[in-house]
Amino acid sequence: MCKIGIPRGMFFYDYFPMWKEFFQELGIEIIVSSKTNKEILNSGISSCVDEACLPVKIFHGHVQYLKDKVDYIFIPRIMSIDKMEYCCPKVLGLPDMVRCSIEKLPPIIDTQINLRKSNTKYKKAIYDTGKLLGKDFWEVKKAYKKAEKSYERYTYLLNKGVVPIEAIKIYDKVFKDINYSSRHNELTIMVVGHSYAIYDEYLNMNLVSKLMSNNIKVITPEMINKDKINRYSNKLPKRMFWTHGKKIVGSAFSLIKEQKIDGIIYLSSFGCGMDSVLVDLVERKAIKEEIPFTLLTLDEQTGEAGINTRIEAFIDMMKWRNRDENNISAFR
């Protein structure tokens, strides 16, 4: 049986349920790299250019982990997933970066996803991928339909308040219509940033788990529905032409304006050009609406002790604010 490796990095947490269902329905064995660890991080740092952001370096480490275990590695070239919008430039060139940085690779399946002008090229890319693997039109069509349904179940869970890390584990099981967000929590914090920074537990030192263990409800951009994101991002003076930038800004603006959160933690990777703009937009909006905001910048030198101290201080500040705000403002 043919084996395809899927690196556990970059857009893995956005689209893995769809990718997994598609390939498995075609009779392909899927091998996913292990969770990020020190070995994968060091391997990625040694094989990637110094100027790349930490998530890209980690992605290279995941490719290194897979390269001797599979027949193909799946690294789609995701250029655009919405009309007249683009993804991060590093994502556009990721297949080429990997080819130039890592030797003795198996063939890379770099399916091009480009919906900038229309959806027709997307379907052609899917059928071309199936053809590359020796599958006929009807087999690919059936696999694609099943993949779409898996993705719908996955996004359903996200909209119910399930963190993607957990949704990936249960999306393909039978589940009841439970509102996961109905549990009582002392605080509600939005963790905002790119999905590959929020959900890689090694990269962010288990931030989401630490917050949840402190009886804090965590909301991320993936949990906000697309219509609301579009509505709030459209209030910017100029159109946001980065799809994931639009998701970050639109989701943050919606929760800030609706006063549904006690604070915001922005996770940014050092050297991210997109974040240099997005952080400022979100922080300005939070300050205007008097929502506590803190920025955590991650790179290979970031220490867990420092992150823990920042998180603990931020949580204490919000608890103090909620308790004593009527007497002394905790914001000004």
Mean pLDDT taken over the chain: 85
Q: In the structure, what pLDDT confidence band is assigned to residue 13 with cuts at 50, 70 and 90?
A: confident
Domain 3-159 class? alpha beta
Residues contacting residue 53 through CB under 8 Å, at least 6 positions apart: 90, 269, 270, 271, 272
Read off the tokens for 196.
């590959």
Closest CA to 201 of 13, 56, 65: 13
Tokens of 70: 């599979």
pLDDT at 302: 80
CA distance 236 to 110: 34
| pLDDT surpasses 90 at 266 | yes
- Hey, what amino acid is at 293? F
Question: What is the rounded CA–CA span in Å between residue 223 and residue 220?
Answer: 6
Does residue 87 or residue 84 have the better pLDDT?
A: 87
pLDDT digits (tens, 9 = 90+) for 164-185: 667 666 555 544 443 445 456 7
Helix (H, G, I), strand (E, B) or coil at 78: strand
Least reliable range by pLDDT among 18-22, 65-69, 265-269, 327-331: 327-331
CA geometry: angle 283, 291, 210, nearest 5 deg: 90
Q: What is the pLDDT of residue 255?
A: 93
Structure tokens at 209: 């788990």
Instruction: Please report where in the chains the tokens 């919606």 appear, as a residue.
Output: 254
Q: How far apart are CA 296 and CA 263, in angstroms?
A: 13
DSSP H helices in the chain: 12-25, 38-47, 54-66, 89-92, 94-101, 120-132, 137-159, 164-170, 195-198, 207-213, 226-233, 243-257, 273-288, 304-324
Taking only the tens place, the pLDDT of each residue in 122-167 is 778 888 888 888 888 888 889 988 888 888 888 888 777 676 667 6
Q: Examine the pLDDT at 235 and tell me if it is beyond 70.
A: yes
* pLDDT above 90: percentage of residues in the chain: 32
pLDDT at residue 176, as a whole number? 42
**Predicted pLDDT of residue 325:** 63
Instruction: Quote the pLDDT of residue 252.
Output: 94
For residue 166, give the nearest of 175, 244, 30 by alpha carbon: 175
Is 60 exceeded by the pLDDT of residue 11?
yes
DSSP string, 243-256: HHHHHHHHHHHHHH
Confidence (pLDDT) at 191: 93
Tokens of 255: 């929760």
Task: Decide if pLDDT at 264 tops 90.
Answer: yes
Quote the radius of gyration of the chain (alpha carbons, Å).
Answer: 20
CA-closest candidate to residue 112, choices 100, 101, 99, 96:
96
- Rounded mean pLDDT, 213-221: 89
Q: Which two tokens stand for residue 262?
A: 């006690």
Q: Tell me how far apart the alpha carbons of residues 32 and 29 are, in angstroms, rounded to a whole number.
A: 10
| CATH match for 183-324 among 3.40.50.11900, 3.40.250.10, 3.40.640.10, 3.10.20.30 | 3.40.50.11900
* pLDDT value for 174: 42
Query: Given this model, what pLDDT does residue 180 score?
Result: 45
Over the stretch 298-308, which tens digit does the pLDDT of each residue have? Answer: 888 788 888 88
**What is the pLDDT at residue 177?**
42
Residue pair 185/243 in contact (Cβ under 8 Å)? The answer is no
pTM: 0.87
Domain ranges of the chain: 3-159, 183-324
Residues counted in the chain:
332
Q: Work out the pLDDT band at 331, boundaries 50, 70, 90.
A: low
Q: How far is CA 256 from CA 74, 163, 222, 225, 263, in A?
A: 37, 19, 16, 15, 9
Strand partners, 295: 266
Average pLDDT (93-116) is: 88
Q: In the prediction, which pLDDT does 57 show? A: 92
Per the listing, tokens 């998530």 go with 55
Question: What percent of the chain is modeled with pLDDT above 70?
Answer: 89
Question: Residue 163: helix, strand or coil by DSSP?
Answer: coil
Residue with tokens 């959806």, as numbered in its chain: 119
